[in-house]
Structures are given as C-alpha cells and as structure tokens.
Chains A and B, each alone.
Chain A
Amino acid sequence: MKKALRRSTFREIKSTFGRFIAIFAIIALGVGFFTGVRITTPAMVNMMNGFLQENDLYDLRLVSTLGWEREDVDALKSASINTVVEGSVCLDVLYETSSGNERVMKTHCLPGSINGIQLVEGRMPQTPQECIADSKDGGAKIGTIFRVSSENDKKTAQQLKYDKFTVVGIANSSYYINFERGTTSIGNGGVNAFIYLPEKAFDTDVYTDIFVKLGTDAEIYSDEYDSIIKKAASDWEELAEDQAQARYERLMSSAAQELEDGRNELEKSRIDGQKELDYAKSELDDAKAELDEAKEKLDSSAADIENGRKELEDAKKKLDDSKSQLDQSEKELTDGETQLADGQAQLDQAKADLDKKETELKGQEEAFAAAEAEFQAQYGALLPMADQLPPEQRQAILAGKAQLDSSREQLTDARNQLEAGKAEIAAQQQILEQTKTELEQGRREYEEGLKQYQCGQKEYESSKAEFDKGVKEYEDGLKEYEDGLAEYNSGLEEYENGVAEFNEKIADAEQELAEAEEEIADIKSPDVYVLDRNTNIGYACFESDSQIVEQVARVFPIFFILVAALVCMTTMSRMVEEQRTQIGVLKALGYSNGSIMGKFMIYSGSASLLGCTIGYAVGTFLFPAIIWMTYKLMYIPLHIPYMFDWKLALLSVAASMLCSLGTTWIACRVELRQNSAVLMRPKAPKAGKRVLLERIPFIWNRLRFLHKVSIRNILRYKGRFFMMIVGIGGCTALLLTGFGLKDSIAGFAEMQYGQVQIADASLNCKTTDDGKLPDKLLAALEENSSGYMPLYTGSWDLLYGNKVKSITLMAPEDWTNMEQFMNFRTMEGEKLPSPGMGEALVSHSVADRYGAKVGSEIVLRNEELEELHLRVTGVFENHVYNYIFVSSQTLDDQLDNGTRYNSAYVNFPENSDVSKSAASISKLSDVTGMTLFSDLSQRLGKMMSSLDYIVLLIIVCAAGLAFVVIYNLTNINITERTREIATIKVLGFFRRETSAYVLRENLVLTGAGAIAGLILGIFLHRFVMDQIVVDMVDFRVKILPLSFVLSIVLTFVFNIIVDLFMELKLEKINMAESLKSVD
C-alpha cells in the first residue's frame, strides 16, 4: 500500500477512535465469551486428566465374588505386558467417633502404584495404627482417633488387626475426586468418608479388587481412551475369568483338603479319646472292686463292734448300778451320820440346856426357898388368920401365898420336867449309841463295796479303751473307704462327663464337618466383573459436570457472533458510506479497488485482530477459572492451569476476521462497484416513507409530533432496528438467564428445608427386634422435642428400562401427622393425599428423569433382592436427593419383615436451644447419626454461593453487549444525521429537546428489545437449566418476578448510560455543520 494511503488509514483510526473501539469491543466480547466458554470444558478435563495421570488412577477394576489372592495378582501381572497390576483391599467399616456417633467409612489399604493419594496435611503412616483421613471429612483432623465399632459383623472386624487408628495425615484421593463417597449396606446406608490404612493393619489374605493400569496416556473421557478401554476390557475379562476360575479351583481343592484333614483328625481324635476313656473305665472298675472288698470287711468289723459295744454297755450299766447303790448307801450313811451328829448335837444341846435349866432351877429353888422363908417369916404367923386381916393385907398375903404356891408348883413341875428330860436324854443317848454302831457297820460294808466297785471300774475302763481303739480303727477304715468311695464317685463322674463331652465334641465336629461340606458345596463358581472408570462416581460425575458447560457453550457463542457480525456490518457500512466521496476521489486518481478496500480492511482487520487477541486471552483465562471456582466445592480443590488451544485460537481469529473483513468487503464492494463520478456526488438521502401506523389515523393523529418523528426514524432503517432489537434482546435475555439461574439454583436449599422438608432434623437409629424405635430414644425424644415421626429409611434401586437408579425409600409411621415434618405438594402447589396400599409418592426428580410418572407402575429392589411393586399416585416437589414415599402398610404387606423403623424426623420447640436438644438425643448409643436441616441448608447454600460469581459474569457480559450495540448504533445514527441535528439546533431546539429527538428512538427500541429479550430469556433460561442436571439436586426452574423487573431495569440503565455519553456528543455538534454542503 502506498505510503500516503497508509498514513491516511492510520489517521483514520486515530480520528474515529470510537468506531475503532466499537469493533474492537464487540469482537473482544464475542471472542472472549466464545473461547472462554469453549475452553472451559477442555481446561477442566485437562486439569483433571493431569491429576489422574499423576496419581495413576486405575483403568480397569477387576472384582470377583470370591475375591483375589496374591497369586492371582502375580499371574495376571505375568499374563499382560506393559501394565501395572495391583491388588487392593476395600472394606465398608463402621467406626465410632469421639462424640459416640457411628459412621461408615470406606477403608482402603494405602495405594502402591495405582489410585494414588495426594497428601494435603501431615505425613504418611509409619505404624500400622496410623491412618490417612479424607480431606473432605469435616470430622477428621490430625490426631483424631477412629475406633472400629463393635457393631461391625465378625467377618469385617476380623479383617482388621487393630481397633483404633490415629490420623496422621489428610489427603485427597484420585479414587474419590468428587465429594460423593457412595453408599453401603451397613450403618445408615451412607458413607461419610474414606480412610487409608497401611497394609499391615489388615489381617486378610484376600484382595477385594485388582486394579489394572494400562500403558495408555490417552486423555480421560476421550474417544481414544474409550476405545482402548473397550478393547482391553474384553481381553481382560477373559483373563480375569480364567484367573477367577483358577482361584475357585484353588479354593475348592484347598477346602476339600482341609475337609479331608479335618476328617482324619476327627477319626484320630476319636480313637485316642476312646482309648483314654476305656482305660479310665477299667481303672475305675478296679477301684470299685477294691472298695467293695473293703466295704465287706468294714461291715463285719462293724458288727463286731456292735457286739463289743453292747457288752460294754451292759458292763457299764452294772457298774453304774453298783455305783448308784454305793452312792445311795453312802448317802444314807452320810445322812445317818449327819443325823447322828445332829442328834448328838441336839442331845448335847439338850443336855446343856438341861444343865442350864438345872442351874436355873436350882437357883430358883433357892430363891423360892428364900422367898418362902421370907414369906413365912413375914406372914407365917398371919397366915392362919388370913381372914381377919384387912382386905388389902389379906389380899396381899393371899396373893403372896398364892404366888408362892404357884411358884412351888412351877418349880416342882420344872423339876419333874427336868428329871424327865434327863431320863429322855439318857434314853436318847442310848439310841444314838446304837445307831452309831449300826452306822459304823454300814460304813464298813460300804467301804468294801466301794473297793469292789473300783476294781470293776478299772476293768471296765480297760475294756473300754480296747473297744475304743477297735472303734477308732474301724472308723479310720471307714473313712478311708468313704474317701475311696468319694474318689471313685468323682472319678466316675469325671468319666461320665468325659464320655458325654467326648460324644458331644465328636458330634459337634461331625456337624462342623458336615456344614463345611455343605458350605463348600455351596461355593459357586465366581462371578467376575471387569469395571472401567465409569463406575467410579467421581470420574463419572466430573464427566457430566464438565460437559454441562460444553452444552451451555453451544448456544451462547453463536448469539454473540451474530451480534458481532451485525455490529461490524453496520459500522463498516457506515464508514464506507461516510468515505464515499473519498473512495470516489481515490478511484478517480487511479487507485485500484484492492488498495482502496485495503484501507478499510486494515481498519477493521486491525480492530478485530486486537479484539480477538485480547478477548481470547481474557476469556480463556477468566471463564475456566470462574466456572471451576463454583465446581471446586464439589470436587478436589485442584488448581486449574491455563490451557491454550491453538485450534480454538485460530478458529476465533478466523471468525473475527471473517466478521470484520467479510463485512467490510461486502460493504466496500457495493460502493466500489459504482464509478467515481457517482461516488463523488452526494448520495441521495434515503426517501422518507409512510409508516404503517399512519394508516390508523385514530392512533397516528393522537401522537405527539415529535413522537411521530421518532417512529418514522425507527422504521426508516430496518437493519439498524433489527440489530438494536437483537442486541438489546440478547442483553435482556442474558440478564434474565443470569438472574433466573440464581433464582432457580440459589433458593433450592431454602425451598427444600423451608417449604418441603420442614422438620428441624432427621436422625438414624437402631431398630428393636420387633421393628420399633428403642425406648431410650423415644424417651429422649419425648423430653427434648416438640414432635417426632418414626420412619423407615432405606436405599433401594429403582428399575427403569434396563438401568438402575438408587433412590431413598421412606415410610412414616403415621401419615396424618406427617404435614408437620414434610409437605407433599405438586409442582403447582396442590397438596397431595397420602399414598394408600401399594401406592407411592415420588419426588419430582425421580418422575422427571427416570420415568416414574403418575399412574405408572414401578419396581424397587434392595440389596437383599427384596422387591416392591408400587403404583405412582403423586409427584411431589422436592429438590434434594431422590425420594419415594410409601405407607407403612404397603411395606408390611409386601416385605417379610414388614416395616422396621430405623429413623425419625424431629421438630424442636420454638426458641429452644436446638443444638443442645439435638445433642442430648444424638449422644444416645442407639442413634447412629443426626442431621440438623438448618445446618444442611446452610452448607448447601454456601456451596451455591459461588453462583454469584457466575451471575455477575453474565451481567457484565450482558452489559458489555448492550453498551457496544447501543453505543455503536447511536453513534452511527448521530454521525449520519449530523446535519439534521445541527439544523434543529439552529431551529432553536433546547438541549434536552435535541437529545430527546435523537435518543427517544433508543428508548423505544430498548423497550421493544427488552420485551423480546424477556421472552427469549425465558427460553434461554430453561435451556440452560436443562443442561445443568445434577443428580443430587433438582432445581426448580423458576424466575422470580423481581428478576424480570431487574433485567428490564438494568437494560434501561445500560441504555441510559450510553445515552448520557451520546448527549455529550450531541452537545458537541456544531451548528455550523448545518451550513456545510451535502457532500
């Protein structure tokens, strides 16, 4: 290109920078969006591919119903080339947490060279009691101790050597790239996390899986990879089946061998045992004979003793009689002696008394004599004359006399007595003397008798001593015998016990052998499965998730390219038109069409190349980063590396070049076809035309004048009209989709736990034998909750077509109160009646995705292969997980075990400390797990909060689109009508009026575009929602009225912002333009 022309070109760029930027911007936007969205899926896949390659995720997984042994691994290793084969153990184990709750964790042995893990914190285990925990496990930190629960079944518990493991490291696993941990048949059916233990912590020789890594490094999900795997799988199926069969045979033969050995051992034991028993028996018999002999002897001795005893007794008796006689005699003698002594004493006493009395009497006699003498002396003379005496005297004398007489009598008596007494005493004394002699005789007899007795006694004593000795001997002998007998008896008992035990054991052993034989017969030929990566949840989920973006990516870019093309087209057409005369001049000067076109090509080409470059750079960097940010929460938090795709870059360059250069070429061609003379003449302005609306005078005449102007203007340039509608419509549609995404997605957790599952919490627990909730739990619930509903919860497979989908089946105890815990409403909000016998209510996701519509018959099957046949009578709104609800009667009817309640919904009183009440329930040992729905809701909500970024991104793009389109068109509009605008300024239009004159059209077009955009947006939103299908969640496809309002408002806001800038431009239009000539 000639120098001057080139200079003109570059000056052109400088002077019409706005136009240049418009092209640059729209291309940048379009390319950015297109490439950004296009590269996201490959970038994500690339990222994950890198991670999985680095950590050697398996290509094939071999599973056999009999498991594998090291031999099998080695055999497979040698049977294949360029592959890595590794055995692995994976068990579902129940663990206890420090809070007493139970959780199921998939327990793996640390990987060798396949399915590597990426340590995030801590270190690898160094002892068998250390472990690596899951980085997505909130309950595991370095130092946490996991205890193997005693509730595990024997088979599982036996395979672990220890029952306590300490976390020393936290890791991500290539086997679990997403947060799903799978399901299990133990515990409450859900797996909380994985845990890696060193190989030495396992006490088993059997591998649960064999992993194979082929030598391919084809990218994950690629067709290349899939075809390699397909081919390899069929090869490996054969290998695996053969190997499994080999194991089976090995197992069988070793089992048979063991059985044989067992039988032999049994026989041997039986013989040995019998021998021992027989020997014992004979010994016992000998002993018995001895004992019997002894018994005989003892018995005869006993008889002898009896006799002896008798004799002794008789002797004793005699002796005793003698003794008693003697004693009696003695007694008598003694009594007699005593009597004698007494008598003597009495006698002596009497004697003494008599003596005393004699003395006394004598005394008295003397006294009397004296007295008498006295009296006589005194009264003797008087006596005969007693009568003549004075009475007193008489009396006194008489008295005295009397007295004396009496005394005399007395004394005489006394004397007589005394003499009598003396005589008696003497007689008595004689008696006594007699008695004494008798007594002495008697005593002598007694003494002799006593002597005899004593002799006899001695004899008796010695006989007795002998007898006693004999008795003692007998007793000793008896005791020995009895001891012997006791020993014998106990020996006999032992023997009998021994026999019984022996028989029992033999019988048991035989039974065991019989059972074992049966078991061995039951061992079926193994089923072998060769699984590829598609059965790995994380791998499969990532594929579908990363493809969501791809699906969505299909639609948007086309739209942007369309808009970009339109913008370029109008811009370049305008430019070419403006330069019409210049083109004419250049032509006249003799420049070729090519070089003239070149000027424009360079202009648009450079703008679009720049735009393409910047757009590509920003788009490919920003989009994957932002989109991955939202997915990161569900997957391992990897860093997404920047991915450069040559093809995409070239494609976008080609597209943008086509857009810009293509449209430029088209625009130029039209002009260049005309000859220079025509070009240099001013172009005839486009004729005004009547508008259709004018034919409706009813409306037309009512319009304000200036509005009529705007209407005519709008419809005058249909191309621009169309472009504006498309651009604005697109903008509004994007905004609506963005807001709509947020409405549909963001609120789902709130909707679910605020409107559908309105219970405060759910818990899983043990079941009593008769299928009810444990009493302790019921008591705790009564105390702490304001209401609860026992439920059966179970994981069942829904069969549809030839596929299977795992769903959660639930049956409440009582449907009448269920509305306190869960609302069953159709998607339109109608309340659903509870299901009757054989009926089921299914959640919307199940009906929608797996064909379980109202009226259809569905079959559910669980792990134990029990089946349920149900008819769907209602589809209820539900957003989290896939549920099917039935009545307990249905379960009672169709299942052998009936309804076994193992869970409950719980409501807590308002204004109570919910976590405290929940804790007091969940700490019971019967409760295996408890979830507060508010926590769950919050967590889910947080997951979705990153959605805000996406919405923001969309809004920014929409804004960009709107800005570029409106700015561009208005710019063209204004530059085209510069003269017109100058004229009306001259005519005296005020500033506001001038702006309105031009920009009113914008407003109307924006309004029309916005309405079109709302309609388009609804469809776009629905389309995007259809692409974002996540298994666990069923988003409600809805757009809030607020979103509609916001979309329109924002669209208008964008418009107004551009209009404000345009007003400035209008201001700058010099009125002198109106004086300029037309060309």
Chain B
Amino acid sequence: MSAYVQFKKVRKVYKTGEVQIEALKDVSFEIGKGEFCVIVGASGAGKTTILNILGGMDTLTSGSAILDGEDISAMNKRQLTAYRRYDVGFVFQFYNLVQNLTALENVELAAQICPDPLDAARVLEQVGLADRMRNFPAQLSGGEQQRVAIARALAKNPKLLLCDEPTGALDYNTGKAVLKLLQDTCRSTGMTVVVITHNQAISAMADRIITVKSGTIADVRINTEIKDVSEIEW
C-alpha cells in the first residue's frame, strides 16, 4: 500500500515564555490506506502531539506531514480548517457531544458541513443506535455516547478517522464494543483508522503498530497476527 499518511522528520517544540518543550524530536512514519493503525506510548510520550498534527489542530516546527499527497504542514489556518472539515473524522476520549442536541442532531451537526456526507440516521443505525436517535446525550450511556461520536465522525465520510483514547472513559466491555465497531468500520468501508492509546493490549487488533517514546518513534511494525477484538483481553 502506498503511504497514505506520511510523517517526515517531524519536530514539534512548544514555547511558553522562556521554556521550550520539545514534544516531538524527529518523528517519521507512514500509514497505508485502509489500515487500522494504533499508536501506543506512555503518557507524555508525544502521541497526542502526533494526533494534533495529524488532525490539523496544531502546526509542526519542522519536517512535513502528508495525508493522501497533501502536505498538511504547509497549510494555513483556513486550509487546515477545511482539511479537518472534509478529510478528517475525530473521535474524542470524552465524546464531546453537544448536550443540547439529540444523537441524531449531533451527527447532523457534522454531516451538514460536509459536501458528501453519509445519511446521519443510517450511520446511527449502523452503529446500532437506531432507537436512540432522539435522545439527548444526557439520556445515553457512555458507550452510546461514544457511538454517537463515532457516527458523527463517520458521517463526514472522511479520509482518515482519528481516535484519541476512544475507550478511555468506558468500561471494559463497552470499550470492546466500541473498538469492534471501529474495526468493523475499517474493514467494511476501507477507511484508514488511527487509534491513539496507552493500552498496549489494543495494539493486537491493529494492522500497524507505532510505538512512541519520549517524542520519537521507538518502533513501527506491521502486525502479522491481527486479532479480532473479541479475542483481546485486558
């Protein structure tokens, strides 16, 4: 597979006053199209930073990041916004649903800004929330909320699905369900999915595993023994 996602010698330095923090030192990796990639690392390793850059939420200090041939690092603010709008789907750790909108409306919120969205109701059905569409997030459980979030991300029909600790706020079983959903989506729609986590166990379900340590890529390997989610225990 051609490199769908490419990081080339990415360096990220945070400057706060006189303090300089080098979050990413020299990060280079690739992810293929349609892959389910897991980026693991301890807290503070820099994986969130990678996510930020990849998601167009932050700029890099040097190097380049490329998605589907487009150089993200060269984009200005507006271009980045467009990038996020059309090309990326986000799933947050804490769901970040709009409390004031029903599940359906939350998905519509994202769908309505895309040129080629999927039908919001259909996507919700696909994630298994057919009869919870008209509920407000407060009326949904954590897992349901996360599924709505995923539906929201999917409805955008993005090139890339970024998930930041999607199961972080969920219990074991719910977490597994969510992961399964992600895996199924990846397989059925051929979407490139990147999951950031500190949970090593999850990496078993990935096609590619990138290990981050202290701002650098410690390891990149293709998973030869892809396990189904149901088979993973942690």
Is A980 part of the contact surface with B, judged by Cβ < 8 Å?
A: yes
Is A155 part of the contact surface with B, judged by Cβ < 8 Å?
A: no
Query: Hey, which chain A residues are within 8 Å of B84, CB to CB?
Result: 985-988
Query: Hey, which chain B residues are within 8 Å of A706, CB to CB?
Result: 112
Is A1077 part of the contact surface with B, judged by Cβ < 8 Å?
A: yes
The distance from the CB of A657 to the nearest CB of chain B, in whole angstroms, is 36
Do the beta carbons of A979 and B96 come within 8 Å of each other? yes
Is A594 part of the contact surface with B, judged by Cβ < 8 Å?
A: no
Chain A 681-693, CB-CB to B under 8 Å as 1, else 0, gives 0001111110000
Is B108 part of the contact surface with A, judged by Cβ < 8 Å?
A: yes
Do the beta carbons of B101 and A983 come within 8 Å of each other? no
Query: Hey, which chain A residues are within 8 Å of B96, CB to CB?
Result: 979-980, 982-983, 1074
Is B30 part of the contact surface with A, judged by Cβ < 8 Å?
A: no
Name the one of A686, A982, A1074 contacting B99, with C-beta atoms under 8 angstroms: A686
Do the beta carbons of A986 and B55 come within 8 Å of each other? yes
The distance from the CB of B197 to the nearest CB of chain A, in whole angstroms, is 13
Within 8 A of B (CB), among A965-993: 979-980, 982-991, 993
Do the beta carbons of B86 and A1075 come within 8 Å of each other? no
Do the beta carbons of B82 and A988 come within 8 Å of each other? yes
Do the beta carbons of B108 and A688 come within 8 Å of each other? no
Do the beta carbons of B100 and A712 come within 8 Å of each other? yes
Do the beta carbons of A712 and B101 come within 8 Å of each other? yes
Bound complex: CA A2 to CA B90 (Å): 45
Query: Hey, which chain B residues are within 8 Å of A980, CB to CB?
Result: 96, 98-99
Name the one of A984, A1072, A1076 contacting B58, with C-beta atoms under 8 angstroms: A1072
- Known interface pairs A687-B99, A687-B138, A986-B84; A1075-B164 also in contact (CB < 8 Å): yes
Is B214 part of the contact surface with A, judged by Cβ < 8 Å?
A: no
Is B113 part of the contact surface with A, judged by Cβ < 8 Å?
A: yes
Do the beta carbons of B139 and A708 come within 8 Å of each other? no
Task: Name which residue of chain B comes closest to A1079, CB basis.
Answer: B94
Is B174 part of the contact surface with A, judged by Cβ < 8 Å?
A: no
Bound complex: CA A988 to CA B94 (Å): 18
Do the beta carbons of A705 and B109 come within 8 Å of each other? yes
Bound complex: CA A685 to CA B55 (Å): 27
Chain B: interface size category: 35 or more
Do the beta carbons of A705 and B112 come within 8 Å of each other? yes
Name the one of B48, B99, B100 contacting A1075, with C-beta atoms under 8 angstroms: B48
Do the beta carbons of B90 and A986 come within 8 Å of each other? yes
Query: Hey, which chain B residues are within 8 Å of A989, CB to CB?
Result: 81, 85, 113
Within 8 A of A (CB), among B27-62: 48, 52, 55, 57-58
Name the one of B77, B86, B108, B113 contacting A993, with C-beta atoms under 8 angstroms: B113
Task: Name which residue of chain B comes closest to A686, CB basis.
Answer: B99
Within 8 A of B (CB), among A1055-1079: 1071-1072, 1074-1078
Is A713 part of the contact surface with B, judged by Cβ < 8 Å?
A: yes
Do the beta carbons of A705 and B105 come within 8 Å of each other? yes
Query: Hey, which chain A residues are within 8 Å of B57, CB to CB?
Result: 986, 1071-1072
Is A1030 part of the contact surface with B, judged by Cβ < 8 Å?
A: no
Do the beta carbons of A988 and B86 come within 8 Å of each other? yes
- Known interface pairs A1074-B96, A1078-B94; A708-B81 also in contact (CB < 8 Å): no
The distance from the CB of A1066 to the nearest CB of chain B, in whole angstroms, is 13
Query: Hey, which chain B residues are within 8 Å of A713, CB to CB?
Result: 100
Chain A 515-558, CB-CB to B under 8 Å as 1, else 0, gives 00000000000000000000000000000000000000000000
Is A709 part of the contact surface with B, judged by Cβ < 8 Å?
A: yes
Is B199 part of the contact surface with A, judged by Cβ < 8 Å?
A: no
Is B137 part of the contact surface with A, judged by Cβ < 8 Å?
A: yes
Bound complex: CA A708 to CA B108 (Å): 12
Query: Hey, which chain B residues are within 8 Å of A295, CB to CB?
Result: none
Bound complex: CA A1078 to CA B168 (Å): 12
- Residue among A982, A983, A987, A1077 facing the most chain B CB atoms (10 A cut-off): A987
Chain A 921-959, CB-CB to B under 8 Å as 1, else 0, gives 000000000000000000000000000000000000000
Is B15 part of the contact surface with A, judged by Cβ < 8 Å?
A: no
Is B102 part of the contact surface with A, judged by Cβ < 8 Å?
A: yes
The distance from the CB of B32 to the nearest CB of chain A, in whole angstroms, is 24
Do the beta carbons of A705 and B108 come within 8 Å of each other? yes
Do the beta carbons of A709 and B81 come within 8 Å of each other? no
The distance from the CB of B220 to the nearest CB of chain A, in whole angstroms, is 24
Is A422 part of the contact surface with B, judged by Cβ < 8 Å?
A: no
Bound complex: CA A979 to CA B78 (Å): 20
Bound complex: CA A991 to CA B77 (Å): 10
Task: Name which residue of chain A comes closest to B82, CB basis.
Answer: A988
Query: Hey, which chain B residues are within 8 Å of A987, CB to CB?
Result: 84-85, 90, 109-110, 113, 152, 156
Bound complex: CA A722 to CA B87 (Å): 41
Is A141 part of the contact surface with B, judged by Cβ < 8 Å?
A: no
Task: Name which residue of chain A comes closest to B77, CB basis.
Answer: A991
The distance from the CB of A901 to the nearest CB of chain B, in whole angstroms, is 80
Bound complex: CA A231 to CA B94 (Å): 82
Is B136 part of the contact surface with A, judged by Cβ < 8 Å?
A: yes
Chain A 293-324, CB-CB to B under 8 Å as 1, else 0, gives 00000000000000000000000000000000
Bound complex: CA A986 to CA B51 (Å): 12
Do the beta carbons of B94 and A709 come within 8 Å of each other? no
Query: Hey, which chain B residues are within 8 Å of A991, CB to CB?
Result: 77-78, 81
Is B185 part of the contact surface with A, judged by Cβ < 8 Å?
A: no
Is B7 part of the contact surface with A, judged by Cβ < 8 Å?
A: no
Query: Hey, which chain A residues are within 8 Å of B98, CB to CB?
Result: 709, 980, 983-984
- Known interface pairs A705-B109, A1072-B57, A1075-B93; A688-B81 also in contact (CB < 8 Å): no
Query: Hey, which chain A residues are within 8 Å of B164, CB to CB?
Result: 1075
Query: Hey, which chain B residues are within 8 Å of A1077, CB to CB?
Result: 93-94
Query: Hey, which chain B residues are within 8 Å of A77, CB to CB?
Result: none
Do the beta carbons of A984 and B99 come within 8 Å of each other? no
Bound complex: CA A1076 to CA B165 (Å): 11
Within 8 A of B (CB), among A684-725: 684-689, 705-706, 708-709, 712-713, 716
The distance from the CB of A822 to the nearest CB of chain B, in whole angstroms, is 65
Bound complex: CA A716 to CA B86 (Å): 31
- Known interface pairs A986-B57, A988-B85; A709-B101 also in contact (CB < 8 Å): yes
Do the beta carbons of B138 and A688 come within 8 Å of each other? yes
Do the beta carbons of A688 and B136 come within 8 Å of each other? yes
The distance from the CB of A73 to the nearest CB of chain B, in whole angstroms, is 86
Bound complex: CA A991 to CA B76 (Å): 13
Do the beta carbons of B100 and A688 come within 8 Å of each other? yes
Chain B 67-83, CB-CB to A under 8 Å as 1, else 0, gives 00000000001100111
Query: Hey, which chain B residues are within 8 Å of A705, CB to CB?
Result: 105, 108-109, 112
Do the beta carbons of B109 and A988 come within 8 Å of each other? no
The distance from the CB of A1077 to the nearest CB of chain B, in whole angstroms, is 6
Query: Hey, which chain B residues are within 8 Å of A687, CB to CB?
Result: 99, 136, 138-139
Do the beta carbons of B109 and A984 come within 8 Å of each other? yes
Bound complex: CA A630 to CA B40 (Å): 76
- Residue among B83, B86, B112, B136 facing the most chain A CB atoms (10 A cut-off): B136
- Residue among B81, B96, B101 facing the most chain A CB atoms (10 A cut-off): B96
Task: Name which residue of chain B comes closest to A715, CB basis.
Answer: B100
Task: Name which residue of chain A comes closest to B98, CB basis.
Answer: A980
Task: Name which residue of chain A comes closest to B52, CB basis.
Answer: A1072
Query: Hey, which chain B residues are within 8 Å of A712, CB to CB?
Result: 100-101
- Residue among A709, A983, A1078 facing the most chain B CB atoms (10 A cut-off): A983
Do the beta carbons of A988 and B100 come within 8 Å of each other? no
Closest 3 CB pairs of A and B: A988-B85, A688-B136, A687-B138
B residues adjacent to A (C-beta < 8 A): 48, 52, 55, 57-58, 77-78, 81-86, 88, 90, 92-94, 96, 98-102, 105, 108-110, 112-113, 136-139, 152, 156, 164
Q: List 26 A-B contacts (CB under 8 A).
A: A684-B138, A685-B137, A687-B99, A687-B138, A688-B100, A688-B136, A705-B108, A706-B112, A709-B101, A712-B101, A979-B94, A982-B96, A985-B81, A985-B84, A986-B84, A987-B90, A987-B110, A988-B83, A988-B85, A989-B85, A991-B77, A1071-B52, A1071-B57, A1072-B57, A1075-B92, A1078-B94
Taking A685-B99, A686-B99, A712-B100 as given, write out 17 further A-B residue pairs in contact, using a Cβ cutoff of 8 Å, ordered by the A residue number: A687-B138, A688-B136, A688-B138, A705-B112, A709-B105, A709-B109, A712-B101, A984-B109, A986-B55, A987-B110, A988-B83, A989-B113, A990-B78, A990-B81, A993-B113, A1074-B96, A1075-B92
